[in-house]
Amino acid sequence: MIEIKNVTKKYGTFAAVNDISFDVKDHEIVGFLGPNGAGKSTTMNMITGFIEPTSGKIIVNGYDVSKAPNKAKMQIGYMPENVPLYNDLTVKEFVSYMCELRKVPKKDRDLQIRKIIKRAGLTEVQDKLIKHISKGYKQRTSLAGALVGEPDVLILDEPTVGLDPKQITEIRNLIKKLGENHTVILSSHILSEVSQICSRVVIINHGKIVAVDTPDNLESTSSEEDTILITVEDPDNKMSGIKSRIKACKEIKKIKELNDGTVQYRIVSSKDAEVNKELFEVLPKENITICELRKEQSSLEDAYLKIINEKDEEIAKEEKREKRERLARQRKLESMDLLERRRTIREEKRKRQDEIDKEFFDNLMEENKIREAKKKRRQLEKKNRKGDKK
């Protein structure tokens, strides 16, 4: 169980991750999607305790990553992006080093090293130097490092990047198998991968979460229209007149003429209108033969692009608005005389300071409240304990 509560990471004034919150349940595989620089790796680094959030809380299996880092880190196996490895160690030495770092008891070490090497499919290369093995094996070695110590939670940052299709399927199957008794968070650029492996998807853009849902739900909500691809033999060229005869049909568009004299059209209709039936009834009457008819699946990719684009537009709008406000203020200031301008600026400053002060005091009050509540609880507990003793 991973709980991420209002986590923010700022670099100067730039917020790489901005107030995100989500939960990952036990034995769930969650996919982390987003364009480059969206804050995926930053979030993962924060969960693993590699970097400290500016504000917010991350709790892994009940341990706060900032307050009990060592206990929390015991719960997490991390496969970082770009697979950092020690090139002058052999695969076996690397796994054994990770065992020592992760404090695996000495008596279990040998057995665990053997088990992990077998599980990650590294038996053939276990005595080779890491710098001499192929990229696929390097990826597996890094994954093996994450498995050391049998952690409950696995965090995999782009585990299949740069692999060939066969290796990708192998790693994917391995992750699926691991998901049976681990909680897994993985980030990826490959959307089909996420929809295949993950039970839930978190889409993140510009440091903010834009969607959390199952892949299926995301796919179905992405489109308001159904699209049908149809290939027909149409000797009399009657296809363009069909539109008026089918009510639900919004648009018929010719895509291309194929070599065998057939023509492919795209038919767009309103959602769940069941146009196929009507097509099968109407077209034969017009002497049009249907060679192929299939529904165009709206994919996770569409959903993803749609969500990301919406967010981008929103941000662009926000920026535009801010710019407009700034310009308006400047123009207003320019139209005033010197004294008036000074007064306005002073007033603006005071207002801003007041806002900051108010926020500060509000926070203080809240903290006090929490502290008092804790105190009360402690006193109550003490009383109870005393009562027990008596």
Partner 1 sequence: MWAVAKKEFRQYFLSPIGYIYIGVFLLMCSITFYTNIFLSQSTNFASIFSLGATVLTFLVPVLTMRTFAEERKNSTEVLILTSPTSVKAMVFGKFLAAGMVVLLSIACTFLYYVILSFFGEPAFSTSLVAMIGFALLSLAYVACGMFISSLTENQVVSAIISMIVFLVLSFLSDVWAGFDPFSIIDAFTTFESGLISVHDVVLLLSFTGFFIGMTVLVMNRRKYVK
Q: Does 13 bind partner 1 (CB under 8 A)?
A: no
Phi, psi of 254 (to 5 degrees): -80, 130
Q: What gap in Å lies between CA 148 and CA 112, rounded to an integer? A: 8
Q: Among residues 101 and 255, whose Cβ is nearest to partner 1?
A: 101
* 273 neighbors 226 (Cβ within 8 angstroms): yes
Q: Which stretch binds partner 1 (CB under 8 A): 87-95, 106-114, 229-237, 376-384?
A: 87-95
User: Taking the complex as a whole, how short is the minimal distance between the CB of residue 35 and partner 1, in angstroms?
Assistant: 22
Q: Does 98 bind partner 1 (CB under 8 A)?
A: yes
Q: Does 103 bind partner 1 (CB under 8 A)?
A: yes
Secondary structure element (H or E) that encloses residue 205, with its range? strand 200-205
Q: Does 135 bind partner 1 (CB under 8 A)?
A: no
* 267 neighbors 220 (Cβ within 8 angstroms): no
Q: Among residues 86 and 280, whose Cβ is nearest to partner 1?
A: 86
Q: Which amino acid is at 370?
A: I
Task: Identify which of 318, 302, 336 has the alpha carbon closest to the alpha carbon of residue 223.
Answer: 302
Q: Among residues 31 and 145, whose Cβ is nearest to partner 1?
A: 145
Q: Does 78 bind partner 1 (CB under 8 A)?
A: yes
Q: Does 159 bind partner 1 (CB under 8 A)?
A: no
| Cβ contacts of 64 within 8 Å, gap of 6 or more | 57, 58, 72
Q: Which CA distances in Å does 20 have to 5, 44, 280, 364?
A: 7, 12, 50, 23
Q: Does 82 bind partner 1 (CB under 8 A)?
A: yes
Q: Among residues 48 and 231, whose Cβ is nearest to partner 1?
A: 48
DSSP state of 129: B
User: Taking the complex as a whole, how short is the minimal distance between the CB of residue 139 and partner 1, in angstroms?
Assistant: 15
* Residue list 15-54, contact with partner 1 (CB under 8 A): 45, 48-52
User: Taking the complex as a whole, how short is the minimal distance between the CB of residue 97 and partner 1, in angstroms?
Assistant: 5
Burial of 250 (0-12, 13-18, 19+ CB in 10 A): middle
Phi, psi of 306 (to 5 degrees): -60, -50
Q: Among residues 85 and 190, whose Cβ is nearest to partner 1?
A: 85
Q: Among residues 48 and 298, whose Cβ is nearest to partner 1?
A: 48
User: Taking the complex as a whole, how short is the minimal distance between the CB of residue 178 and partner 1, in angstroms?
Assistant: 18
User: Taking the complex as a whole, how short is the minimal distance between the CB of residue 170 and partner 1, in angstroms?
Assistant: 23
Q: What gap in Å lies between CA 317 and CA 36, rounded to an integer? A: 21
Q: Does 70 bind partner 1 (CB under 8 A)?
A: yes
Q: Among residues 45 and 160, whose Cβ is nearest to partner 1?
A: 45
* DSSP structure string for 232-276: EE-TT--GGGGGGG-SSEEEEEEEEE-TTS-EEEEEEEETT--HH
Q: Which amino acid is at 332?
A: K
Strands, E, within 25-122: which ranges? 29-33, 55-60, 63-64, 76-79
Q: Does 145 bind partner 1 (CB under 8 A)?
A: yes
Q: Which CA distances in Å does 39 have to 6, 149, 150, 246, 286?
A: 14, 28, 27, 47, 56
Q: Among residues 51 and 293, whose Cβ is nearest to partner 1?
A: 51
Q: Does 55 bind partner 1 (CB under 8 A)?
A: no
Q: Does 360 bind partner 1 (CB under 8 A)?
A: no
Q: Among residues 87 and 297, whose Cβ is nearest to partner 1?
A: 87
User: Taking the complex as a whole, how short is the minimal distance between the CB of residue 306 and partner 1, in angstroms?
Assistant: 33
Q: Which stretch binds partner 1 (CB under 8 A): 18-26, 67-75, 116-124, 344-352?
A: 67-75
Taking CB under 8 A as the criterion, the residue among 37, 86, 240, 270 binding partner 1 is 86
Q: Which stretch binds partner 1 (CB under 8 A): 22-30, 69-77, 158-166, 217-225?
A: 69-77
The number of C-alpha atoms within 13 Å of 253 and in the hemisphere containing its C-beta is 8
User: Taking the complex as a whole, how short is the minimal distance between the CB of residue 367 and partner 1, in angstroms?
Assistant: 22
Q: Which residues bind partner 1 (CB under 8 A)?
A: 45, 48-52, 70-71, 73-74, 76, 78, 80, 82, 84-89, 97-98, 100-103, 145
